[in-house]
Structures are given as structure tokens and as C-alpha cells.
Amino acid sequence: MRTLGGLIVPLFLVSGCIGETDFYGNTLEPKPLIEFELVDQNNERYNLSDIDAEVIMVGFIHTSCGEECDGLTASMKQAYDLLSSQEQGGVSLLSITTDPWHDDSSRLYHYMLNNSVEWPHLTVYDINSELGMMESVWNQFGTAVEVIANESQSMARCSIHLMDYTVNHTVHVILIDEDRTTRVQWLYSDWDSEEVAADIRRLSSE
């Protein structure tokens, strides 16, 4: 049985926004990321240092989230596709689950297939021993995660499995620069693929 315990990670990077900038998205006070290691859709260890790119676009989803997370995934792909082949060479995409209790590597693999994307999707290997590490990752990216136990079991926003809890989280993307610092936040509710692509170009040119 999962320990839900009202897990909340109430840290929003939006609160760190600074004044006028050249970015279309929410400009963040640069914050160096602490190295972390998760597992990908192939159940292989994946480390931030494995990524060799000028800009990393990190999205936060979970497989039972439904339309909103599927929309964010599609939007990430759309913004990436607006870049030239040369620009794409300097950009990496990454998705991190906000429901590691349910999203093992296999579920993330099939989520990728269903959404026709190929970039790494990350979770933890053992939720019992690595939940703290996942919480620290969410914190670094300012991703708020709230787990709410359902009063009665239902198919809450999911046609794949019976849910006894609901996960609410910040549906957003964080852009990271070459120095591995967080720089720009894009909420899905504010998404504009042309402007996201422009922000990626701006970071790449620094």
C-alpha cells in the first residue's frame, strides 16, 4: 500500500522571477541544479551529467494525468520541431514523472509510444527508498506536487488503472542553460510554441 501522507512540495520558482528580460516565459533567478540520478523508460540509470546540450527543456507529467499532460508533451515536441536541425543539435528534452508511485519504467515507455515522442522519461527505481530523491528533484525545479487520497476508488482521470489517489502538480516546463542553471519557466496554461522556441534560441546564443 502506498504511503500518500498528503505529500506536498509547495515551492514555486515563479516567486523567484526577476524584472525585464528578453525571455517570453517567466524569467527565473538563475539557480544551479544539484546533480541527480533517476531511471529512464528502459529502466536504466540516467544522470543529468549524461546530457550534452546547450539547453535542456524539462517537462513534468504523469501518465494518468490525461489531456493536460498529453498536451504539454505535444507542446514540447511542437516547440522543438520549430527549431532548425542545427538548433535542435544543441537542445535536449527530458520529462520527469510527478507520480512515481504508479509510473514505473514500463508505463513511461508506453506513454512515450502513445504520445509519439522519443526523449527520456524519468522516474525512480524504488519508490520506498528513493522518494526523498524524487522530492528533491521536484524542489529544484519548483514543481509543486500534491497527492490526495480519493474517498472512494474511481477511475479518476485514468482509463488504464483503478486509482485510489489523485496527483495534482505544477504542469510546466523549465528551460536550463549550458551551466545547468534554471532560467525560464513556461506554464502549460501560458504556452506558446513559437515563443518557447525563441527562448531556447536566446539561451543557446548566450
Q: For residue 68, count other CB atoms closer than 10 A to its CB.
A: 14
Residue 50: is its pLDDT beyond 90? no
**The pLDDT of residue 5 is above 70:** no
Which grid coordinates belong to 24? Answer: 517570453
pLDDT of residue 7: 52
* 122-146: burial string, b at 16+ Cβ within 10 Å, e else: bbbbebeebbeebbebbbbbbbbbe
Decide if 194 contacts 82 (C-beta within 8 A): yes
Is 16's pLDDT higher than 90?
no
- Please answer whether residues 58 and 94 qualify as being in contact, where contact means their C-beta atoms are separated by less than 8 angstroms: yes
Give the pLDDT band of residue 8 (cuts 50, 70, 90): very low
Other CB atoms within 10 Å distance of the CB of residue 75: 18
pLDDT tens digits, 69-104: 999 999 999 999 999 999 999 999 999 999 999 999
**Terminal-to-terminal C-alpha distance of the chain:** 48
Helix (H/G/I), strand (E/B), else coil: 63 = coil
pLDDT of residue 53: 94
Q: What angle do CA 77, 83, 87 make, to 5 degrees?
A: 120
| Domains of the chain as residue ranges with CATH | 13-204 (3.40.30.10)
Distance CA(21)–CA(201), nearest Å, equals 14
Residue 176 pLDDT: 97
